[in-house]
């Protein structure tokens, strides 16, 4: 068997061909390229696939049915359905506590940024509760640049509220909110 026939053999791995020809796998690849030999990539037929041999049986955390899986995969549910149902039923009320917020808060966030984030969240809540008063015509709320778009505006700006020492609740009251066209809101600055 000549060298070209050995290089064309697609049932052997690069290492096996390298052992036959007494060269490295890189040299085998270079020789194949020099001779213009192109072979399909991937694992060889009939060769063992050790990554598929190891499997373990796990129990689904939601429905307790058994499923087979490769150990390196961290899957804990047998299907997407179980995963979706379990994620909806998880109690995440702890995320609303002040203790959790303190833990997740970045020490690098400025006091004004925290205040603004809190006001934004509370203002949105106030808007949703009083949408008929603030936006009776149901204008579209948009970002800047969208034609005929409106934005929720604070009559006393968030920065001014912060400087005056107002609380986030006071800054996001209904009396301090209005709906303005985005251009007017942008000019108000």
Show Cβ contacts of residue 50 under 8 Å, excluding neighbours closer than 6 positions.
none
Give pLDDT tens digits for 117-140. Answer: 999 999 999 999 999 999 999 999
Contact 178, 151 (CB under 8 A): no
Mean pLDDT by 10 residues, the chain (189 residues): 86 89 92 88 72 81 88 86 79 79 79 92 93 91 88 93 94 93 87
Contact 37, 10 (CB under 8 A): no
**Ranges of each domain in the chain:** 3-35, 50-89, 110-188
For residue 179, how far is the Cα from the chain centroid? 32
């Amino acid at each position: 068997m000549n060298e070209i026939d050995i290089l064309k053999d697609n049932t052997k791995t690069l290492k096996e061909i390298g052992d036959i020809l007494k060269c490295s796998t890189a040299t085998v690849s270079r020789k194949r390229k020099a001779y213009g030999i192109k072979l399909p990539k991937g694992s060889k037929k009939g060769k063992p696939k050790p990554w598929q041999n190891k499997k373990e049986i796990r129990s689904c955390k939601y429905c307790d049915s058994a499923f087979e899986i490769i150990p390196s995969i961290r899957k804990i549910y047998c299907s997407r359905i179980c995963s979706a149902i379990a994620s909806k039923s998880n109690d995440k009320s702890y995320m609303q506590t002040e203790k959790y917020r303190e833990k997740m808060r970045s020490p690098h966030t400025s006091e004004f940024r925290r205040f603004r984030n809190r006001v934004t969240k509370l203002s949105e809540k106030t808007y949703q509760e009083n949408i008929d008063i603030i936006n009776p015509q149901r204008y579209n709320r948009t970002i800047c640049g969208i034609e005929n778009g409106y934005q929720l505006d604070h009559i006393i700006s968030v920065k001014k509220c912060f400087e005056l020492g107002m609380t986030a609740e006071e800054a996001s009251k209904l009396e301090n909110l209005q709906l303005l066209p985005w251009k007017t809101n942008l000019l108000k600055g």
